[in-house]
Amino acid sequence: MLDKSNQTSRQWTYQTCTEFGFYQTSSGEIDFFGNNFPLDFYIQQCQDIFGKKFNKDFVNAAAEWTNNYYGSLDIPVSRVVYVHGSVDPWHALGITKTRTAHCANMYPPGDKDLPELREARVKIEEHLSSWFEMV
């Protein structure tokens, strides 16, 4: 039987190598978990999977292009629901206003959900509903 739980890993890895260049490294000033996952680890992963052209310069240039093209944190768009929260490990790449985890607002509601997560789901639904009323 095919395990479907990890079918998007290759696509996500490709996107980080060609657009984001943002990795959860362990090479910060304070290394709680050691230095087992420095930036070079992820660059090597890009090269191992997609080829030698995916070096540090390539990944940096790709991330810079993405930020310039899409506006970085100053995105000139409307009708966008930002679902990043301060607990989200990727929140540095997004616009944060709520305390929710990465993609948690898209999961089915659960009895153990934080009040902030419940509130985020209500706000997202209100935003989306208002857009549909305008059409």
Could you tell me if 14 and 64 lie in one domain? yes
Q: pTM for the full model?
A: 0.58
Whether residue 37 is contained in a domain is answered as yes
Number of folded domains that form the chain: 2
Whether residue 128 is contained in a domain is answered as yes
Identify the pLDDT of residue 83.
Answer: 72
Among 70, 95, 123, the domain-final residue is: 70
Whether residue 3 is contained in a domain is answered as no
Q: Which domain holds residue 113?
A: 84-134
Token pair listed for 114: 């934080």
pLDDT in tens, 43-92: 999 999 999 999 999 999 999 999 899 888 777 777 777 776 666 677 77
Among 44, 70, 96, the domain-final residue is: 70
Could you tell me if 95 and 128 lie in one domain? yes
Compute the CA torsion angle 11, 72, 93, 42 (nearest 10 deg): 50
Supply the DSSP symbol for 72.
T
Could you tell me if 95 and 125 lie in one domain? yes
